[in-house]
Amino acid sequence: MVIIGILGFIFYKESDSGNLKAKSNISEIKKIDKELSEEESEEIKDNDYYPIENIYDILHRMSNTKIIAEDNQIWGKIEMTPDSISSIKNLIEKVDYEDKEYMLEVLTRWENNDFSKAVEEHNYFWKKLGGTIGKATGLKE
């Protein structure tokens, strides 16, 4: 009975923070990346192909792993792995997003383990998502 309660609490905390949705979005992006790489067309997709808000959410949560936020208010984290960075970068390259070049620059830095601009990058995605709590103020050591 205790185990069920603990698992329920973990599920509640994950769903409450949006982590389950974000993890689902990463899985979806990996699937889309695979489909796009199997396509023979090099056609750039319209910006409504995959919701930009989901991209911002993932990039925001990835940057959360590198920053210190005001009042320690961090809303969800996604681990930056070479695989997840590559998948989201491949998707962005194939979709005509307004700020595509900036997002690709950020992901290229992250691929190279350069997090020197993580505060600026976090706050960019945070603002795009309408952030009001948890503005980045510094880098984690």
Residue 5 lies in a domain: no
Residue 9 lies in a domain: no
Indicate the pTM of the whole model: 0.76
The percentage of residues in the chain with a pLDDT greater than 70, rounded to a whole number, is 71
Q: Show the domain range for 55.
A: 18-139
- Rounded to whole angstroms, the Cα distance separating 112 from 131 reads 27
Confidence category of residue 14, pLDDT binned at 50, 70, 90: very low
Residue 12 lies in a domain: no
Confidence category of residue 139, pLDDT binned at 50, 70, 90: very high
Confidence category of residue 46, pLDDT binned at 50, 70, 90: confident
Residue 76 lies in a domain: yes
Structural domains in the chain (count): 1
Residue 83 lies in a domain: yes
- Rounded to whole angstroms, the Cα distance separating 11 from 91 reads 29
Residue 1 lies in a domain: no
88: number of Cβ within 10 Å = 26
